[in-house]
């Protein structure tokens, strides 16, 4: 099967121009002809040393400009448009963007309707979860992966639809997927040349599905849908649990709510949900897992601040701090403010919320506003002191930046974006943050170190190294490494908690 590459048309040469000679300057053939002018004779200059001949760059070597934002004239609720939107988002992730901003770009450039957004988002997230398997299948059917990002994204998205994960039914009939993928390809400038290839690959997959899937599953990339280095690192870190951890990261995340006990109670809110026809399980002291996902607009009392969306594992942070009214509390990496809100719901404290990202920090203000709570917001780096007034804090929450390897079920793009070396850089930064914050803690005060990482170097090893550096740090009881789990009465992401108290002088 051949993937015919597009060639660029070369601008016509000006009439009368000499044919370009091999070895001439390729740019010269496009230069505007100089007006005829009197030429002043200069004394004869030394002949320039002969330059090595530069070959003319053939047109097929010129990288085409891809049009990932092109919106063809297709019905806004068609699967063809959803395939193109998702393919564009997937292509952006492969180029290094996180999925949420990639989707925002697609929605804006496509002028997507709410229904269209839902379809594009669903397909893009599915593809992130099944990318390793789709990539492996495509590799089995083509000699070389297509180098047009939209084409690659389109084939991955279509294969994910034709090949749902075990136990899940296919969301569309196979012939619909093939028909819509070919229609989409025909209407897009990056794909039109490969319309026949899209058709051939997808039909071949349908014909040879069993053999292709069996062959693909022999490869860890397809079996687990994570990069090879990630699989190996997880296996090394968790020799007993690595398979369950990888599988958990491929599951659908639940929608878990935190009940705002300043405004209502768990039983009372469960009743409100019931009245709205929504069933939920209790998965923590204030945590309710909805049985069916919903938009926040559909959640009773959300806009009035009765509840927030927060994973049950993340809901452990505020209670671990042992808060009391009147305390001075620092949330050092606060945005978007999930844990800040919980802290303020639990006690009347004077909260300072710091985050290095001013845009994300604004979301802390929005979230607290919805809950009817407030804090002092500071856009600053937690490893610096220039923002600190020198007054010690009674409690510090350090929910440090990390690789987020524990929340891949919510952010399935993370595994494809991270590099093996990211962890080392983030560990250095979080070590600096912890050391800096320690001096801001009062004697007897408590610092809670949190990550949403599963890599031990970011979590337990960091906590142990911190304790070794600070002889005045007493390590108190805390959950340590929580592996992602879901089940009856239990459902949380992978998080790490270490709690330290400063020895009184
Ligand atoms: C894990 S998130 C915090 C989540 C938050 N605690 C919550 O519960 O909603 C980490 C945050 O650290 C911020 N951050 C990254 N580097 C930072 C730094 N050097 N100083 C302060 N904040 C930083 C990021 O902008 C991000 O918002």
Mean pLDDT, residues 214-241: 97
Distance of alpha carbon 5 from alpha carbon 193, whole angstroms: 7
CATH number where 462 lies: 3.40.50.150
For atom 6 of ligand 1, the residue with the nearest CA is 334
Which of 100, 313, 335 for a ligand 1 pocket mutation test, highest count of atoms within 8 Å of Cβ? Answer: 335
Interface pTM, i.e. ipTM: 0.99
- Ligand 1 center–CA 361 separation, angstroms: 9
Q: State if residue 190 touches ligand 1 by the CB under 6 angstroms criterion.
A: no
Mean pLDDT, residues 140-163: 94
Mean pLDDT, residues 263-275: 97
Rg (CA), the chain: 28
Q: What's the number of domains the chain is made of?
A: 2
402 is in an annotated binding site: no
Q: In the chain, what percentage of residues exceed pLDDT 70?
A: 87
Mean pLDDT, residues 98-102: 97
User: Which of these ranges, 274-283, 332-341, 453-462, 479-488, has the smallest mean pLDDT?
Assistant: 479-488
At 490 the pLDDT is 86
Mean pLDDT, residues 327-344: 98
Q: Please report the beta strands in 186-324, taking only residues with DSSP state E, as ranges in sequence order.
A: 255-259, 280-284, 287-290, 307-309
User: Which of these ranges, 31-35, 360-364, 411-415, 493-497, has the smallest mean pLDDT?
Assistant: 31-35
338 is in an annotated binding site: yes
At 53 the pLDDT is 47
Q: Which two tokens stand for residue 99?
A: 């999925």
Distance of alpha carbon 422 from alpha carbon 334, whole angstroms: 21
At 488 the pLDDT is 79
Same domain, 219 and 334: no
Q: State if residue 495 touches ligand 1 by the CB under 6 angstroms criterion.
A: no
Distance of alpha carbon 268 from alpha carbon 261, whole angstroms: 10
Residues across the chain? 505
Residue 21 has pLDDT above 90, yes or no: no
Q: State if residue 382 touches ligand 1 by the CB under 6 angstroms criterion.
A: yes
pLDDT digits (tens, 9 = 90+) for 456-477: 999 999 999 999 999 999 999 9
pLDDT digits (tens, 9 = 90+) for 72-86: 789 889 999 999 999
Residue 16 lies in a domain: no
What b/e sequence results for 30-66 when a residue is b if at least 16 CB atoms lie within 10 Å of its CB, and e otherwise?
eeeeeeeeeeeeeeeeeeeeeeeeeeeeeeeeeeeeb
381 is in an annotated binding site: no
Residue recorded with tokens 């994300």: 360
Residue 191 lies in a domain: yes
Atom of ligand 1 nearest to the CA of 401: 10
Q: State if residue 401 touches ligand 1 by the CB under 6 angstroms criterion.
A: yes
- To the nearest whole number, what is the mean pLDDT of the chain? 88
Same domain, 334 and 473: yes
User: Which of these ranges, 38-47, 199-208, 348-357, has the smallest mean pLDDT?
Assistant: 38-47
Contact (CB, 8 A) for 145 and 139 = yes
Same domain, 89 and 209: yes
112 compared with 17, residue with greater pLDDT: 112
Same domain, 219 and 341: no
Catalytic residue among 157, 381, 402, 452: 452
On the CB side of 56, CA atoms within 13 Å amount to 15
pLDDT tier for residue 62 given thresholds of 50, 70 and 90: low
Same domain, 218 and 321: no
Residue 15 has pLDDT above 50, yes or no: no
CATH number where 189 lies: 1.10.940.10
At 63 the pLDDT is 56
Q: In the chain, what percentage of residues exceed pLDDT 90?
A: 80
> What is the four-CA torsion angle of 108, 114, 118, 124, rounded to 10 degrees?
-10
How, if at all, do strands 393-399 and 441-451 pair? Answer: parallel
| Last residue of one domain, picked from the residues 205, 224, 243 | 224
Residue 222 has pLDDT above 80, yes or no: yes
Residue 25 lies in a domain: no
Residue 306 lies in a domain: no
pLDDT tier for residue 70 given thresholds of 50, 70 and 90: confident
Domain range for 214? 79-224
Q: Is 452 a catalytic residue?
A: yes
Nearest to 96 by CA among 402, 422, 411, 417: 417
Atom of ligand 1 nearest to the CA of 382: 20
Distance of alpha carbon 355 from alpha carbon 360, whole angstroms: 8
- Ligand 1 center–CA 402 separation, angstroms: 9
pLDDT digits (tens, 9 = 90+) for 433-450: 999 999 999 999 999 999
333 is in an annotated binding site: yes
Distance of alpha carbon 116 from alpha carbon 232, whole angstroms: 38
Mean pLDDT, residues 151-157: 97
Q: State if residue 383 touches ligand 1 by the CB under 6 angstroms criterion.
A: yes
Residue 218 has pLDDT above 80, yes or no: yes
Q: Which two tokens stand for residue 170?
A: 């296919």
Residue 355 lies in a domain: yes
Q: State if residue 237 touches ligand 1 by the CB under 6 angstroms criterion.
A: no
pLDDT tier for residue 321 given thresholds of 50, 70 and 90: very high
Q: State if residue 357 touches ligand 1 by the CB under 6 angstroms criterion.
A: yes
Residue 59 lies in a domain: no
Which of 309, 333, 399 for a ligand 1 pocket mutation test, highest count of atoms within 8 Å of Cβ? Answer: 333
- Ligand 1 center–CA 104 separation, angstroms: 22
334 is in an annotated binding site: yes
Mean pLDDT, residues 246-250: 95
Q: State if residue 458 touches ligand 1 by the CB under 6 angstroms criterion.
A: no
User: Which of these ranges, 38-47, 381-390, 422-431, has the smallest mean pLDDT?
Assistant: 38-47
Distance of alpha carbon 106 from alpha carbon 104, whole angstroms: 5
At 505 the pLDDT is 74
pLDDT tier for residue 206 given thresholds of 50, 70 and 90: very high
At 38 the pLDDT is 32
Nearest to 273 by CA among 251, 248, 249, 255: 255
Residue recorded with tokens 């919320």: 353
Residue 24 has pLDDT above 80, yes or no: no
Residue 194 lies in a domain: yes
Atom of ligand 1 nearest to the CA of 381: 20
For atom 15 of ligand 1, the residue with the nearest CA is 401
Q: What is the pTM of this model?
A: 0.85
Nearest to 269 by CA among 303, 295, 296, 307: 307
Contact (CB, 8 A) for 1 and 197 = yes
- Ligand 1 center–CA 458 separation, angstroms: 15
216 is in an annotated binding site: no
At 320 the pLDDT is 98
User: Which of these ranges, 31-45, 129-143, 209-223, has the smallest mean pLDDT?
Assistant: 31-45
144 compared with 255, residue with greater pLDDT: 255
Please calculate the CA angle 479-482-486 and round it to the nearest 5 degrees. Answer: 125
pLDDT tier for residue 249 given thresholds of 50, 70 and 90: very high
Same domain, 334 and 460: yes
Same domain, 201 and 328: no
- Ligand 1 center–CA 304 separation, angstroms: 26
Nearest to 458 by CA among 440, 434, 474, 441: 434
Task: Look at residue 439 and give its three-state secondary structure.
Answer: coil
| DSSP-assigned states of every residue in 338-363 | HHHHHHHHHS--EEEEEES-HHHHHH
| Last residue of one domain, picked from the residues 224, 254, 279 | 224
pLDDT tier for residue 167 given thresholds of 50, 70 and 90: confident
At 477 the pLDDT is 97
At 166 the pLDDT is 85
Q: How many helices (H) and strands (E) does the chain have?
A: 16, 13
Residue 65 lies in a domain: no
- Ligand 1 center–CA 211 separation, angstroms: 46
At 73 the pLDDT is 85
- Ligand 1 center–CA 263 separation, angstroms: 27
46 is in an annotated binding site: no
| Last residue of one domain, picked from the residues 200, 224, 248 | 224
Same domain, 359 and 490: yes
Q: Which two tokens stand for residue 405?
A: 């390897």
Mean pLDDT, residues 191-204: 96
Same domain, 321 and 444: yes
Distance of alpha carbon 285 from alpha carbon 283, whole angstroms: 7
């Amino acid at each position: 099967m051949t993937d015919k590459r597009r060639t660029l048309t070369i601008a016509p040469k000006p009439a009368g121009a000499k044919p370009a000679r091999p070895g001439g300057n390729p740019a010269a053939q496009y230069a505007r002809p100089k007006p005829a002018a009197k030429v002043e004779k200069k004394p004869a200059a030394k002949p320039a040393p002969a330059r090595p001949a530069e070959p003319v760059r053939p047109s097929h070597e010129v990288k085409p400009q891809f049009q990932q934002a092109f919106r063809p004239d297709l019905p806004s609720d068609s699967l063809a448009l959803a395939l193109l939107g998702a393919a564009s988002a997937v292509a952006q992730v492969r180029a290094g963007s996180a999925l949420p901003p990639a989707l925002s770009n697609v929605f804006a450039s496509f002028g997507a309707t709410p229904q269209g957004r839902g379809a594009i988002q669903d397909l893009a997230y599915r593809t992130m979860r099944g990318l390793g398997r789709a990539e492996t299948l495509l590799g089995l059917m083509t000699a070389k992966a297509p180098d047009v990002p939209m084409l690659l994204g389109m084939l991955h998205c279509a294969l994910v639809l034709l090949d749902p994960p075990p136990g899940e039914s296919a969301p569309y009939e196979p012939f619909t997927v093939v028909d819509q993928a070919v229609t989409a390809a025909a209407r897009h400038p990056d794909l039109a040349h490969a319309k026949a290839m899209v058709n051939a690959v997808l039909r071949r997959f349908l014909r040879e599905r069993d053999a292709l899937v069996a062959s693909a599953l022999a490869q860890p990339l397809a079996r687990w849908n994570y990069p090879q280095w990630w699989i190996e690192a997880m296996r090394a870190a968790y020799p007993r649990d690595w398979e369950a951890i990888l599988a958990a990261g491929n599951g659908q995340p639940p929608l878990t709510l935190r009940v705002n006990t300043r405004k209502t109670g768990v039983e009372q809110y469960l009743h409100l949900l019931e009245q709205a026809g929504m069933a939920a399980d209790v998965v923590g002291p204030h945590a309710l897992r909805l049985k069916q996902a919903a938009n926040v607009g559909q959640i009773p009392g959300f806009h009035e601040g009765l509840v927030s969306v927060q994973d049950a594992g993340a809901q452990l942070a505020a209670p671990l701090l042992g808060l009391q009214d009147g305390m001075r509390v620092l949330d050092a990496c606060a945005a978007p403010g999930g844990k800040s809100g919980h802290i303020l719901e639990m006690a009347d404290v004077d909260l300072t919320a710091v985050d290095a990202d001013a845009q994300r920090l604004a979301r802390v203000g929005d979230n607290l506003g919805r809950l009817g709570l407030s804090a002092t917001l500071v856009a600053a780096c937690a490893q610096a002191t220039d923002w600190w007034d020198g007054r010690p804090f009674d409690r510090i929450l350090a929910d440090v930046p990390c690789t987020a390897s524990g929340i891949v079920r919510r952010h399935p793009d993370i595994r494809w974006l991270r590099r093996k070396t990211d962890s080392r850089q983030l560990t250095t930064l979080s070590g600096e943050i912890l050391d800096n914050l320690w001096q801001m803690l009062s004697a007897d005060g408590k610092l809670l170190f949190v990550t949403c990482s599963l890599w031990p170097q970011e979590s337990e090893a960091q906590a142990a190294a911190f304790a070794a550096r600070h002889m005045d740090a007493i390590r108190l009881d805390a959950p340590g490494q929580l592996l992602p789990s879901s089940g009856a009465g239990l459902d949380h992401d992978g998080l790490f908690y270490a709690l330290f108290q400063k020895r009184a002088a």
